[in-house]
Each structure stands twice: as C-alpha cells, then as structure tokens.
Structure 1
Amino acid sequence: MPESSGLPDLPRTPAATAALSVATRYCSPALLNHSIRSYVWGVTYAGAHGIAFDDELYYVSALLHDTGLTEPFDSHSLPFEEAGGHLAWVFGVAAGWPEARAARAEHVIVTHMRADVSAAEDAESHLLQVATSWDVAGRRPEEFSEALTGKVLDRYPRLDFATEFLAWFEDQAERKPSSAAARSVESGGRLRISAHPLDV
C-alpha cells in the first residue's frame, strides 16, 4: 500500500531493513536519497506500465547499487557497478538468501550500467535502468509527473547529488577508462548530469 503521502511504502523485510542500514552507513546523505528515489521511481513506473517485479529484490538492489562508488567499497580495478554487485551478493547470502537470489541482486546492479534490457527480459534490471537514468541524467521525463516529482523530492531531496555524482563518475572514468562510467562521461554525461531538469 502507498504511504499517506501517496508514495510507495519502503519494504520492511529483514533483508530490506538491513540494506537500508548498510546504505545509510556507507552512502552520503545525497547518495542515500538517490538510492531510495531510484526505488520509488522504479515502483511508480512499474505500476504505470503493469510490470510485475520482486519488490524486496528491487529495493535491495536499488539501495546497494552505488555502494561501489563509496570509499570503503571502491575497487582499484573493477567498475563501480561490478564492485557494488559483489557487495550485493555477499549481502544477500549473509541475509540468508539462496545464492541464486543473491546473484540476481548482483546482476541487477551490474546490468543497470549496461545496454538497456526490456521489462519482459528482466523486470528488476529494467526498472533500475529507467529509474537511475531519470534520477541521474533526466531521461524519460514524460514518465514522471510533476505532482509525483514534487512529493518524491520533498521526501527525499537531491541535496548536492549532481555535484557529488559527477565527481565520482569523472574519478571512475579517469581511473577506469574502459568502464561504463568512462563511456558515459565521453558521450556527454557531464552535461546531462549538470543540466538535470530537477536541478535547474
């Protein structure tokens, strides 16, 4: 059920609660809010398009998808989404998930930085791709109403997310030139992030 604010409830399973604790400890306030917004955008998009998905799996993936950008989990060689995927696998197994379910969270996080996948092919990966591409780069604005956007930003404000995220992306691109982050920067990612309609 949605909250009284009209936003979807955050899952409260043991794994979901633990994922929020991990994200709260290791992510900056701006990155934490981005991760929660990514869940909310994805859930509302799924509802609008009739996409069935695993709510707990999607929430855990959304909460942990950028942990590979944080200093404790930033790999010296792996792209941040792969580092975050490994963390999600470890988290899932430690939370009592079967290895196959933990591997699904890893896959969703890695895939969100890859070529688009359809909802029919992989619902959770599709939702995270749509949600993060909107929240980071302003893509598909027609999917998210002004009323919804206002409620989400009131509850989970952007803070200095664009500045922080651009710095992380450019750092990733410089240190890992073959990564998806580097390709994004090379293809105009700096401008898309800096000119996000929610920040101007």
Structure 2
Amino acid sequence: MHLTDFHAPDTLAARGALELARQYQSPAITAHALRSWLWAEAFARIDGIGEVDHELLYVAAVLHDIGTVTAFDNHTVSYEHAGGHVAVALTAGAGWPVERRARALDVIVRHNWPRVDPAMDAEGYLLEVATGLDISGARPEALPEAFRREVLAVYPRGALAAEFGACVLDQAARKPDTAARRLVDGGVIEKLAENPLERLSI
C-alpha cells in the first residue's frame, strides 16, 4: 500500500471542498482532513469495504471539521452538523441530487459517533475509523507502518494536537449537549498527545 495508490477525485465538488478547506482552515486542520481521507481509503481496502462512493468520502473527509472555523461555526448546533451543512451547500452548487447531498451531511455527522455500522453507512464508517486513528490513535497497527510514515511525511501533523484540542474544548464549553463534550469527557486531549502517529511524525 502506497500513497500513490489513492487519487483525489477530479470533480467540481472535490476541488471545491479542498479550496474551501485551504481558504478557511489552518494548515494543520487541512492536513488532518487529507490524512483522514487517505486513512479512510486505506481502511476500505483493509476492512474489505467494496461499495464506496469515493467522491462523497473525499468531500466529507475534507470538510468534516470546517464547522469549527469562525466563518462556519454555529452557536446552536454541533460543529459536525455545521460542517455537514457546508458540504450540503457545496454539493448543491456542484449539482448533486438532494439525496446525495443529505448523505454528505450524514457522513460528516456520523464521524463523531462512537461507532458506525459499515452495513448501514460505509462512508460514515470509514470516516469514523479514519478520524479515530488520526485524533485518538485507534487501530494504527491495521495500516502498514511504511504507509503511515509516507502519509505523515506528505501531510505532517504539525500543531494538530494543540489546535484541535483547543477547538474541541471550546466547542464542548459552548455546546455542552454535543459530541464535543463527549470527546472531551472521553479524554480526547490526552489521546491527541499520546497518539502513536505523533511518534512516527518525529
């Protein structure tokens, strides 16, 4: 498994998602988004998930944290719902039908679920396990170390632990009924610091 095995979709929605991410997110958060996409694609192979909407997965991965930035933060809903609605707006402009736009919202929201059943939502499952690896350090041994090192060399973690940690603490304090509170209570700050990917990045 190599980085060159995976190619970003060359579509209006995919290009737009990356442009939004780079315009509004920090380099560390955007690198996290792109690593999450690559981990998700790799887990699809490892876990034998054959039926995957790769464009949907890419758009959802790239935009899954965009609801944390000031321009898209929403004081009444969770950051994953806010980001999901950004994806709905983007994909509407790209001509996606209503049902597929709704899937973008679902996948982004479900990445913060404790667990997603792949039989119910393959893309949601893949983004959940991918972000679980990149944030909390879950299942690193499932992917070859050489591949993990290759991805981290191209998309380094940088200040992710500090930036995302501060962000999720802020979200949890302002929106205590959302998944951010569960993440904080579940020790996400410590998990970020202890993530084995941090050691591979050195």
User: What range describes the TM-score normalised by the shorter chain of this pair?
Assistant: over 0.9
Q: CA deviation at 1:171?
A: 0.4
**2:19 corresponds to:** 21
2:6 is matched by which residue type in structure 1?
Answer: P
1:26 is matched by which residue type in structure 2?
Answer: Y
**1:171 corresponds to:** 170
Q: Distance in 1 between matches of 2:5 and 2:69?
A: 28
TM-score by length of 2: 0.94
**2:55 corresponds to:** 56
Q: Distance in 1 between matches of 2:27 and 2:44?
A: 26
**1:190 corresponds to:** 189
Q: Which of structure 1's runs of 4+ aligned residues deviate more than 6 A?
A: none
Q: Distance in 1 between matches of 2:114 and 2:128?
A: 9
Matches within 5 A, 1:71-90: 71-90=70-89
Contact 2:161 2:189 in 1 (8 A): no
Contact 1:176 1:182 in 2 (8 A): yes
Instruction: Confirm whether residue 129 of structure 1 aligns to residue 128 of structure 2.
Output: yes
Give the superposed CA RMSD.
Answer: 1.4
SS in 2 for 1:96: coil
Q: Deviations over 1:57-94 (max 9, x none)?
A: 00000011100011100111211001111111111111
Contact 2:67 2:81 in 1 (8 A): yes
Q: CA deviation at 1:114?
A: 1.7
Q: CA deviation at 1:7?
A: 4.3
Q: Distance in 2 between matches of 1:85 and 1:158?
A: 23
Structure 1 unpaired stretches of 5+? none
Identity among equivalent positions (%) equals 44
SS in 1 for 2:135: helix
Structure 2 unpaired stretches of 5+? none
Contact 1:7 1:151 in 2 (8 A): no
Q: CA deviation at 1:6?
A: 3.5
**2:113 corresponds to:** 114
Instruction: Confirm whether residue 104 of structure 1 aligns to residue 103 of structure 2.
Output: yes
TM-score by length of 1: 0.95
Q: Deviations over 1:4-29 (max 9, x none)?
A: x5341111112111111111111100
1:36 is matched by which residue type in structure 2?
Answer: L
